[in-house]
A and B are shown apart, each in its own frame.
Chain A
Amino acid sequence: MLGFGFLYAPIVLLVLYSFNASRLVTVWAGFSTRWYGALFHDEAFGATALTSLEVAAMAATLSLVLGTLAGLGMARFGRFPGRPLYGFALLAPLVVPEVILGLSLLLLFVACQSWFGWPGRGMLTITVAHATFGACFVSVLVRAQLAGFDRALEEAALDLGARPWTVLTRITLPGISPALISGWLLAFTLSLDDLVIASFVTGPSATTLPMAVFSSVRLGVSPEVNALATLFLCVVFLLVAFAGWLMARAERRRVT
Chain B
Amino acid sequence: MTGLGRLGRLVVIGVPFLWLALFFLLPLLIVVKISLAESTIGIPPYTPLFVNDGSGLKLHATLANFALIAGDDLYLRAYLGSLGNAAVATALCLLVGYPVAYAIARSQGVRRQLLLFLIMLPFWTSFLIRVYAWIAILEPNGLLNQALIALGLIATPLPLLNNLFSVQLGLVYSYLPFMILPLYGSLSGLDQSLIEAAADLGARPLQTFLGVTLPLTLPGIAAGCLLVLIPAIGEFVIPDLLGGPDTLMIGKVLWDEFFNNRDWPVAAAVAVVLVAALALPLLAAQRFLERGHTA
Closest chain-B Cβ to A71's Cβ sits at a distance in Å of 9
Given A98-B236, A100-B271, A105-B27: A135 and B123 within 8 A (CB)? Answer: no
Given A103-B268, A164-B3: A110 and B44 within 8 A (CB)? Answer: yes
Q: Are B251 and A97 in contact (CB under 8 A)?
A: yes
Interface residue from A26, A70, A147, A199 paired with B143 (Cβ < 8 Å): A26
Q: Which of B145-184 contact A (CB under 8 A)?
A: 146, 173, 176-177, 180
Majority secondary structure, A binding face = helix
**Alpha-carbon distance between A113 and B289 when the two chains are bound, in angstroms:** 36
Given A95-B282, A111-B30: A76 and B121 within 8 A (CB)? Answer: no
Given A88-B286, A132-B19, A240-B121: A195 and B12 within 8 A (CB)? Answer: no
Interface: B67 (CB within 8 A)? no
Q: Which of chain B's residues have a CB closer than 8 A to the CB of A228? A: 129
Interface: B226 (CB within 8 A)? yes
Q: Which of A79-117 contact B (CB under 8 A)?
A: 80, 82, 85-101, 103-105, 107-108, 110-111, 113-114
Q: Are B254 and A103 in contact (CB under 8 A)?
A: yes
Interface residue from B5, B31, B119 paired with A104 (Cβ < 8 Å): B31
Count A-side interface residues using an 8 Å CB cutoff: 93
B36-66 vs A, Cβ < 8 Å mask (1 yes, 0 no): 0000000010000000000000000000000
Interface residue from B34, B132, B267 paired with A225 (Cβ < 8 Å): B132
Count B-side interface residues using an 8 Å CB cutoff: 89
**Alpha-carbon distance between A13 and B138 when the two chains are bound, in angstroms:** 12
Interface: B26 (CB within 8 A)? yes
Could you pull out 6 A-B pairs where Cβ atoms are within 8 angstroms? A69-B11, A73-B12, A87-B290, A103-B254, A135-B16, A186-B123
Instruction: List residues of chain B with CB under 8 Å of any chain A CB.
Output: 1-5, 8-9, 11-13, 15-17, 19-28, 30-31, 34, 44, 96-97, 99-100, 115, 118-119, 121-130, 132-137, 139, 141-143, 146, 173, 176-177, 180, 226-227, 230-231, 233-237, 240-241, 251, 254-255, 258-259, 264, 267-268, 271, 274-275, 278, 282-283, 285-286, 289-290, 293
